[in-house]
Structures are given as C-alpha cells and as structure tokens.
C-alpha cells in the first residue's frame, strides 16, 4: 500500500516512537492526524510535520469516536492506524513492608495500553470497513507491544501483562478483519531512545545500550518508523508480532 495521499492516524504521535512514525508517514505523503494526550507536544509536532492534531484519551470511546470523525472530515477515511499511545509503570507484586501492588495502577496500565489500543482499533476498523478497496486491501493497523511481553523484568507485571495482551490479540483481530481486507501487525520494540530514556543519566543509557547484542546501542525511533513503513508496503505481513530489538533478551532485572 502506497501511503501517498492516504489518511493516517498515529496515537501517541506527539513524541518518541509515535512522533518518528508520524513524521515518516507525513514525509512520504500521507495526510496524518496525531492523537495524543499531551496537547503542547502534540500540536508542536503536528505543526512541524504538517499534520493535524487531536487531544485524545484512547480509553474514552466517545472521545476516540469524535476524533476519528473529525479526522475523516479533514483528510478522508483513514487507511493507516499506528497505535503508539501507552504508559509505563514499575512496581513489584509485593512491595516494601509487605505491601501489595496497587491495584489501581495495574488497572490503569491495562486500561491504557491494552483496552485503549483495542478501543482505537475497533472504532478505526468499523469506519474503514465501509470504504472502497485500495488494490487488494482497505488498510493496515500497526500496534506497539514490547519485548517485555516475552521477557518481562522484575517490577514489570502490569506493563508486561498489558503488552502481552496486545501480542495475544494481534492474530485473532487480524483474522476478524481479514474478510474486510484490513491487515493487523504488532511491533515489539526493545530498548529505544524515548523521552523517558532521555531523562536517565548518560551512563545508565550507555549501560542499557550495551545489553543489546547488535547493534549495541539504544534503538532509534526512526528505526521503528522504518519497520512501520515496511509493514505498510508488504501486503503479506499480517497477523504477526515482530521483535525489533537487536537480538536482545531482557534479564530478570
């Protein structure tokens, strides 16, 4: 699928992996709308790349529906969806002084990373299902998991569960949507340079990068965007989760 002239939605597109993906799609000629909770960074990045912006809470069905409708009025029916919106939380199952993991934090991570992803997928696909085919397909959905789905570390129970859920639903959703000509693929990134990583001391970042067999460094958001591009352009990639991690396997901690 050639993205030139097509409408695309990127959730979490104001920073990190989502920002690089939105920029890549815009540079390739797509009409991009960024969905992000951070209005300041989202609007700034949208202005930089010539995209539209909507402040969107992916867990809010009404908010997502309204944003998709507005994006469609502006750019036409979206053919490409890249789900990058997500949050991180670290906490052991049993914390200090024998305290249990805060249940509200566990629920929030699941709600944003898993339920939020599904909410956008289902509403996006429902709109796209009414559109005409472009060649042999209608569109492509790319989700973001993490290698934590497979190699979750100590303190990552909530995060790993949320990303494991994204991995687990990829194939059934791809099968659901196959009759509509909509592909569904998930990327599981390893350790990438993100705003969260930028806040860490340089020696910590270097140490993390050295854990990657090759190339021994943090992944670049542009490399994630390149994988999205490859998925969009190869119609045979469907129903799969692709590790993008330099052959890294996360240690327990």
The one catalytic residue among 35, 89, 159, 193 = 159
- Residues of the chain short of pLDDT 50, as ranges, are none
**What is the rounded distance in angstroms from the CA atom of residue 156 to the CA atom of residue 163?**
10
pLDDT digits (tens, 9 = 90+) for 61-105: 999 999 999 999 999 999 999 999 999 988 999 998 899 999 999
Strand partners, 189: 244
Domain ranges of the chain: 7-244
pLDDT at 209: 92
Rounded to two decimals, what is the model's pTM? 0.96
224: annotated active-site residue = no
What homologous superfamily is domain 7-244 in, according to CATH?
Answer: NAD(P)-binding Rossmann-like Domain (3.40.50.720)
pLDDT at 197: 79
pLDDT at 195: 80
Extract long-range pairs of 53-61: CB within 8 Å, 24+ residues apart: 53/14, 56/11, 57/116, 58/11, 58/83, 58/85, 58/112, 58/116, 58/117, 58/119, 58/120, 59/111, 59/112, 59/115, 59/116, 59/119, 60/119, 61/119, 61/123
């Amino acid at each position: 699928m050639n993205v030139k002239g097509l409408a695309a939605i990127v959730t979490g597109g104001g920073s990190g992996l989502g920002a690089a993906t939105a920029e890549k799609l815009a540079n390739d000629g797509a009409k991009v709308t960024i969905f992000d909770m951070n209005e300041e960074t989202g609007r700034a990045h949208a202005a930089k790349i010539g995209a539209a912006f909507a402040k969107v809470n992916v867990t809010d069905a009404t908010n997502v529906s309204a944003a998709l409708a507005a994006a469609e009025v502006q750019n036409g029916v979206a053919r490409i969806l890249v789900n990058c919106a997500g949050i991180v939380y670290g906490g052991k199952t049993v914390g200090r002084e024998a305290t249990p993991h805060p249940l509200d934090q566990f629920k929030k991570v699941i709600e944003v990373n898993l339920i939020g992803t599904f909410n956008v997928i289902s509403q996006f696909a429902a709109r796209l299902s009414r559109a005409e085919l472009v060649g042999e397909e209608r569109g492509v959905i790319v989700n973001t998991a993490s290698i934590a789905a497979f190699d979750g570390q100590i303190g990552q129970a909530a995060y790993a569960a949320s990303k494991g859920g994204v991995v687990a639903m990829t194939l059934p959703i791809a099968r659901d949507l196959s009759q509509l000509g909509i592909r569904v693929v998930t990327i599981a990134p390893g350790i990438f340079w993100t705003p969260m990583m930028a806040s860490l001391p340089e020696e910590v970042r270097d140490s993390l990068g050295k854990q990657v067999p090759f190339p021994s460094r943090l992944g670049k958001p542009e490399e994630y965007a390149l994988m999205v591009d490859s998925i969009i352009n190869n119609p045979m990639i469907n129903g799969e989760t692709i590790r993008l991690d330099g052959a890294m396997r996360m240690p327990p901690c």
